[in-house]
A and B are shown apart, each in its own frame.
Chain A
């Protein structure tokens, strides 16, 4: 009887050793570099790099969220981003934290070129290198690359940068959902 138990224990031990080694090997071999959650969160953030959340860019905020920070600090992303983050992290969506700003329409920076003195301060401030120019020469914003982050407005010594809301034009237009319906009889009554 004892031999039977011993054999069983030995077999189980051997199995444990084998699988332990296998798991250890797999953990080493297929180690995930970095934190994949940070990448997923970063992909959902709007990448304006505006710093309104209090972090120097979207990725640092993504890292902070991955470590348990609140998900409602991103005004450019607004409700949509909060909802997407809540889905990803499986937490309750919260309203946007007004302390960090309010959601507003997409904007771009526009330099009033006549007034620009060519100080390059805005170029240094732009987080996405969307401002073109050289010292003592006029600068201009590459509109298609501008994220509307606002960061160039403050450093300008002559206040020649405006934030302009993008008006929808014929090329960016898309269909709106049908108007919410009212009761049929009401409408008939109204038109009669």
Chain B
């Protein structure tokens, strides 16, 4: 006999399980329309891979998660996609979410399946990937992707694998019936998970109010490592943390996960889905759901296709809407009221209670807390429900958080025993939601601040750069100015030189004129002195011509480049042209003079 521990607190609500265990699991059949929400798991919503109008086969992948955590969604039967729209989904808010709507064709034709004959020959990561591809997320209620849960952090060795078949919440018998009728499949799944995790110990925990299930599981696991442990019936022994405490005596640290203490919990329904995914190649397209309550004639468990509207499922069990006061999705302790019977069964839907007024009366109005302390006595997490209630009501969320509000598993034991019928869990959920919203806002504000500061820094930097460029330009302009001045000086100097030449030419002219005026007798002696002058004049003319040419080519370049000194150059060229002309005139004049002188 395995040693068992106890967890603090807990309650013994009326079980009400016998109503739905009288008949074997029935098939719920194919409804007229299947509604497949894109998000049935914790993580990112899946993105559709199909278009309205597409024909799909049973088991075909319809949507997948491309980035982030999540698992795909498959077609539960063959048929036509008629739409991808916002429809009410099972959620306490009663709000709508994106769903793929599938109209079955009635053939129920499977797509090609690829069962694995011997998964032991595969790599463990490949098997985990097959589990992901089959769309399996935790079927106990939270819907955490199973492939991620089965791959604990590398520094955490899972030494104990717990298969959770406690099913402690009243009314629900889905796991019980699955263990009774499909123990082999569950055991097959356990074998696969044990092979992936290689735990030292594998425990199947079942509450002692399910002797048939215990018997069936014992038989299935005979001669294997897995050990069936019967735990005392007490709510909430099926809570992950409570079950771990019962079986190992260890507590999961606050804010931690079971893998931190070397334990992992998996639901029996998940084990069955894993077996089907690997050994038969079937993705998760159906689940066992309990339909019970006095509002149905024929309560029992149904194997329902994922996406079956709850109304269809209720009708299978003989639904009497007029009798029903409240329709509850999940158990009476942790479930929520369903307003709309069109919402579909999803991967985490384990129970549907059509309760009459007598069965689950509306909670009486809240009365003042009388500080009786019963809530603290039954709290399985050893919190201070009363203090949490005060702080949550006063919106003093910091203090509530300080009192480990986030360790609350929302089991509802405190509300159940409260003599003032205070909806304590609703206060805690509200406080948790507010704290999460505030945190998200804080993160957003921090990001906005970062972005604002980055922008300010960028603007400043740009301003500085602009300033620097402006300064650089100013410096460059000053330098260019200086250079130009220097050039201008040089040009002026050169210009003076040419002026000198023209002055000389003028002087020559003057001299020639003077010569003309002189008596002819004196001319012969002077002519010899005039001759070298013509030579120098010619030289000057050539120089001037050369300069003009270079100037003209410079002007052309400047024109082509559209530089701003075109005008100046034009002026300079005109001036030079003038000079050349003058020099030419002077030369011809001098030559004529000379000839006349020679002639004389």
Contact = CB atoms under 8 A, between A and B. Distances in A.
Contact of A127 (B91, B423, B434, B452): B452
Contact of A47 (B93, B423, B433, B452): B452
B365 A147 contact: no
Contact of A178 (B91, B367, B426): B426
Given A47-B446, A145-B447, A184-B367, A129 B455 contact: yes
A145 B95 contact: no
18 contacts: A45-B445, A47-B449, A49-B452, A58-B452, A59-B452, A59-B453, A127-B452, A128-B452, A129-B455, A145-B448, A170-B91, A170-B95, A173-B95, A174-B429, A175-B429, A175-B432, A178-B423, A181-B365
Interface string B443-476: 0111111011111100000000000000000000
A170 B97 contact: yes
Interface residues of A, number: 29
Contacts of B479: none
A64 interface: no
A46 interface: yes
A58 B445 CA distance: 11
Given A49-B448, A178-B366, A181-B367, 20 more contacts: A42-B449, A47-B444, A47-B446, A47-B448, A57-B452, A59-B452, A127-B452, A128-B448, A128-B455, A129-B455, A169-B95, A170-B95, A174-B430, A174-B433, A175-B429, A177-B427, A182-B365, A184-B364, A184-B365, A187-B365
A181 B345 CA distance: 34
A42 B444 CA distance: 14
7 closest Cβ contacts across the A-B interface?
A174-B433, A175-B429, A47-B445, A47-B448, A128-B451, A173-B93, A170-B95
Contacts of A46: 441, 445
A163 interface: no
Given A46-B445, A182-B365, A184-B367, A174 B436 contact: yes
A178 B441 CA distance: 23
Contacts of A147: 444, 448
Contacts of A45: 445
A129 B454 contact: yes
Contacts of A182: 365
Nearest to A56: B456
Given A175-B92, A181-B366, A127 B455 contact: yes
B89 interface: yes
B437 interface: yes
B393 interface: yes
A119 interface: no
A147 B443 CA distance: 12
B214 to A, nearest CB: 37
A127 B452 CA distance: 6
Contacts, number: 79
Nearest to A144: B444
A35 interface: no
B66 interface: no
Contacts of A58: 449, 452
A176 interface: yes
B96 interface: yes
Contacts of A178: 366, 423, 426-427, 430
Interface string B388-426: 000011000000000000000000000000000001001
A175 B426 contact: yes
Interface in A39-79: 42, 45-49, 57-59
A59 B453 CA distance: 9
A138 interface: no
Contacts of A176: 430
Contacts of B453: 59
Contacts of A128: 448, 451-452, 455
Contacts of B449: 42, 47, 58-59
Q: Which of A42, A49, A170, A187 has the largest number of chain B CB atoms within 10 A?
A: A170
Contacts of B365: 181-184, 187
A11 B95 CA distance: 79
Nearest to A177: B430
Contacts of B95: 169-170, 173
B463 to A, nearest CB: 14
Contacts of B452: 47, 49, 57-59, 127-128
Contacts of A127: 452, 455
A130 interface: yes
B211 to A, nearest CB: 38
A115 to B, nearest CB: 26
Interface string A177-191: 110011110010000
A75 to B, nearest CB: 15
A177 B446 contact: no
Contacts of B392: 177
A48 B447 CA distance: 10
Given A170-B96, A187-B365, A130 B433 contact: no
Contacts of A174: 429-430, 432-434, 436-437
Interface in A135-192: 145, 147, 169-170, 172-178, 181-184, 187
B456 to A, nearest CB: 8
B547 to A, nearest CB: 49
Contacts of A170: 89, 91, 93, 95-97
A128 B456 CA distance: 9
A177 B393 contact: yes
Interface in B79-97: 89, 91-93, 95-97
A48 B448 contact: yes
Contacts of A173: 91, 93, 95
Interface in B96-111: 96-97
Given A175-B429, A181-B366, A187-B365, A145 B96 contact: no
A14 to B, nearest CB: 48
Q: Which of A48, A130, A147, A182 has the largest number of chain B CB atoms within 10 A?
A: A147
Contacts of B427: 177-178
Q: Which of B427, B433, B446 has the largest number of chain A CB atoms within 10 A?
A: B433
A145 B92 CA distance: 29
Interface string A75-108: 0000000000000000000000000000000000
Nearest to A183: B365
B497 to A, nearest CB: 55
A47 B446 CA distance: 7
Q: Which of B95, B433, B448, B454 has the largest number of chain A CB atoms within 10 A?
A: B448
Nearest to A147: B448
A178 B365 CA distance: 10
Q: Which of B364, B432, B445, B446 has the largest number of chain A CB atoms within 10 A?
A: B445
Contacts of B430: 174-178
A169 B452 CA distance: 28
A42 B449 CA distance: 9
Interface in B48-94: 89, 91-93
Interface string B124-142: 0000000000000000000
A182 B437 CA distance: 29
Contacts of B429: 174-175
